Copies of this chain bind each other. A is one copy, B any other.
């Protein structure tokens, strides 16, 4: 009988959980609200309740060999949250492994949510068959996940993979992290929308999309940008090209540092499809050794929203 694991993906709004076997088949997919505003103790309680629900649904808890969790922030080797989770007040300091062990007697493994999603892609999605893989998730910000020598690489204290904060423009846009010119300011979903707003006003590019942006700047999303890219809109194309160039600069640094077999691009922005992957792929050789770029594939993520829970569960089997 195949071993089973519980995978949990802690998001800002919902907590998603599954029971998964070693082949990646998921069942009993369940969501509960995160209730982040009620503080870290409540968030932990909701996670534990979700584990309880999944164990009950599975019915034979004996076959479940552990719980994996993907969470915003940094998790140390003992499963304690040690930072990087500003959107979950009171979550820092939580002892994840201890709490799960105490309540259910199950071993636990936790990692940063993007790291965990990267591991999901590596095991069951766009990373199958490679040894060294770097994943970039372009959402609200840009997160990074790294697989090295077929293993998740979380770095010291789980802090590796902060690839959204690679500086790609000296003295560039101010980032929330304190630095200037981080790639996530240009190429995250939010960064792309913000760039459309700036360019519509500052660059003075007149186009149908520009008119839409100026009419209601706050409503613009990266999805709008790519709708207009599809119609060859000058402003939208300019935003797209700049975003991909910035992403290629970051990927160039990643290539020179890691020489991965494959870079996987994912997150909400990639709903625009292959147009982003192709543009980035073409530009990477401008920003690193060509020998390295030529040997590194660039592909889209495959698992979409399931990468997180699947990677979390897979960590238990590792």
Task: Please give the residue numbers on chain A whose beta carbons come within 8 Å of chain B beta carbons, in ascending order.
Answer: 74, 82-84, 131-132, 144, 146, 148-149, 151, 153-163, 165-170, 172, 177-179, 181, 249, 252-254, 256-261, 287-292, 295-296
Contacts and interface: CB of A to CB of B under 8 A. Distances in A.
A153 B161 contact: no
B84 A160 contact: no
Given A155-B132, A165-B289, A291-B82, A257 B160 contact: yes
A288 B162 contact: yes
Contact of A287 (B74, B179, B290): B179
Contact of A160 (B157, B167, B178, B258): B258
16 contacts: A82-B291, A148-B149, A148-B153, A149-B153, A156-B295, A157-B295, A159-B289, A159-B292, A160-B257, A165-B288, A166-B257, A167-B253, A167-B287, A170-B172, A179-B252, A253-B257
A256 B259 CA distance: 17
Given A159-B289, A162-B289, A291-B82, A144 B257 contact: yes
Contacts of A82: 291
Q: Which 8 A-B pairs have the closest CB atoms?
A: A155-B259, A159-B259, A162-B256, A160-B259, A170-B170, A83-B291, A156-B261, A159-B292
Given A131-B156, A156-B259, A253-B167, A162 B292 contact: yes
Given A149-B149, A177-B289, A159 B295 contact: yes
Oligomer: number of copies: 2
B167 A249 contact: yes
Nearest to A178: B290
Contact of A151 (B149, B289, B290, B292): B149
B131 A161 contact: no
Contacts of A296: 156
A132 B149 contact: no
Contacts of A156: 131-132, 259-261, 295-296
A222 B176 CA distance: 37
B257 A162 contact: yes
Contacts of A169: 170
A194 B170 CA distance: 21
Nearest to A133: B156
Contact of A258 (B131, B155, B167, B181): B155
A289 B179 CA distance: 9
A53 B74 CA distance: 52
B166 A253 contact: yes
Contacts of A168: 170
Given A131-B156, A132-B155, A156-B295, 20 more contacts: A132-B160, A144-B257, A146-B257, A148-B149, A149-B153, A156-B259, A157-B259, A159-B295, A160-B257, A160-B259, A166-B253, A167-B252, A170-B181, A178-B290, A179-B252, A179-B287, A179-B288, A253-B253, A254-B257, A257-B258
